[in-house]
Amino acid sequence: MNTLAVSFALYTAGIAVIGLLSTKVSRGTQSDFLLADRGLGAWVAGLSSAASAESGWVTLGLVGFAFTNGISAYWVVPGTVAAFLFNWFVLGPRLHRLAQEHQALTVPDVLACQFRGPLAAAIRLISVAVLLTMLTAYAAAQFNSAGKMFAATFGWEYATGVVAGTAIVLIYTVTGGFRAIAWTDVVQAIFMVGALVLIPMILISQLGGLERTWTLLNQGEDGGTVTHWLGRRSGIELVAFATLWFGIPLGNPGQPHVMIRIMATKDRTAILRGGIISALWVTVLFTGAVTLGLTARAKFGQLPDPEQALPLLAADVSVVSPVVGGLVLAAILAAICSTADSQLLVSATSISHDLMRVLRGPSQSAKSNILLDRVTILVVGILAAAIALTEVRSVFDFVLAYGWAGLGATFGPAMILILLNRKTTAAGVCSGMVSGFVIAVSWRMFLPEWNAVVYNLVPAFFGSLITCVVVSHFTTKTA
């Protein structure tokens, strides 16, 4: 085994150990397994939330997009940072208070806790259906990333890489639950930022400085496009570009695996500090990812698959030493794991907590719930891996088109209105969730010409929001 592989293996083993050690402080309750007993401090909550939001989509997908499209990819930074600040400073305190008042353990709990009767149950059932569908697809995109990483770096078969990535995530997620995820996310967040800051700096130095790097980017037929802030887009193409970069942040309030970090934070002070930490972290991370894509473009010129730029750089001894290369690979795996583990846990709780609450009521034992959580994590993880094995997709497109858009349109408007508008009714929430999901999927699958112009999350989000407001206006809170 070479130095690169040893360095990577040691990191992987360390993450597994951290996850397993978290079981030592477990209290054996479902609240502890799902929310770490609502005891996260600012640093753990902030870094864990940010890391779970930014998956292999950043270390592979965004790097690849910047490689292909140039400096216009930087436009993702301001909108994403604004979304993080909105989540933590506007929605965060209200979400935390509501979750504590009603002892809510999941996002569907939050959406349904103020209502009673059939429509409250309907909110949970709709949530379960969407969570299982979208989070399984989302997790599949993460395992797709793992397959690409192992293939590009170690020359493994894509399928072998998918299986290895799935196994690593399942080991500590099944055993340690949310606490294991939060603890490992902190380490993973540090590795992600470290790699996406360090590698561009090394490349710029090796290429001869910023001026030389810029000159290299300007070479070739599309050089002027790469270094143009709008990529020389105009007309319909510019509209499509704008709806993508300013539409992506709309999905943040609707990501259950992100919002539960706020629910798990110990108090208001930790929420406000955690918001600052997460916003700073994502600013550095996204800026680094785009810069990495640009510097990789200056070095390589072209690649068959630009999403493999970072793994190829990690394995290139002319760029970094094998030890550092192993740690860079660890950062890629960190991005994959920090999102996939949370998605698997949220999928599991949609079964053990939300679905079982509808079918059997809230009286089932913590021990049986945790067992069901673990079984569901295994099943969903295996299913996600099976989906990832069917085709090597673009991580960037697959995540945005289905996982991020589907969840963002289904849960985002409902979450915002539940927390900010007291007139929101159960009927409004149900209709808004259904319309958001249907528009997001239909727009992508059946309207390819429109989808090429407007990112499907944008019409789906506003369709859901408007539906929820209108239906709430014509129904009562108890209806």
CATH of the domain at 214: 1.20.1730.10
Q: 73-111 as b/e, with b when 16 or more CB fall inside 10 Å? A: bbbbbebbbebbbbbbeebbbebbebbeeeebbbbbbbb
Condensed to tens digits (0 to 9), the pLDDT of residues 393-403 reads 555 566 677 78
**pTM summary value:** 0.87
pLDDT the model gives residue 349: 80
Q: Is residue 413 part of a domain?
A: no
Is residue 81 in a domain? yes
The reply to whether 393 falls in a domain is no
365 occurs within a structural domain: yes
Q: Which pLDDT band, with edges at 50, 70 and 90, does 27 fall under?
A: low
Rounded to whole angstroms, the Cα distance separating 402 from 125 reads: 20
Torsion of CA 89, 91, 93, 98, to 10 degrees: 180
What sign does the dihedral 355-375-100-436 (CA atoms) show? negative
Asked whether residue 453 is assigned to any structural domain, the reply reads no
Residue 419 covered by a domain = no
Which domain does 191 fall in, by range? 3-388
Highest mean pLDDT (candidates 86-90, 223-227, 340-344, 347-351): 86-90
Q: Residues 213, 204: contact at Cβ < 8 Å? A: yes
Highest mean pLDDT among 104-108, 216-220, 225-229, 459-463: 459-463
**Assigned domain for 464 exists:** no
- HSE of 329, CA atoms in CB hemisphere, 13 A: 33
Of 358, 298, 410, the closest CA to residue 121 belongs to 358
**Number of domains present in the structure of the chain:** 1
* Stronger pLDDT, 12 or 380, i.e. the higher one: 380
Q: How many CB atoms are closer than 10 A to CB 33? A: 27
The answer to whether residues 84 and 282 touch, using CB atoms and an 8 Å cutoff, is: yes
Q: Confirm whether 9 is domain-assigned.
A: yes
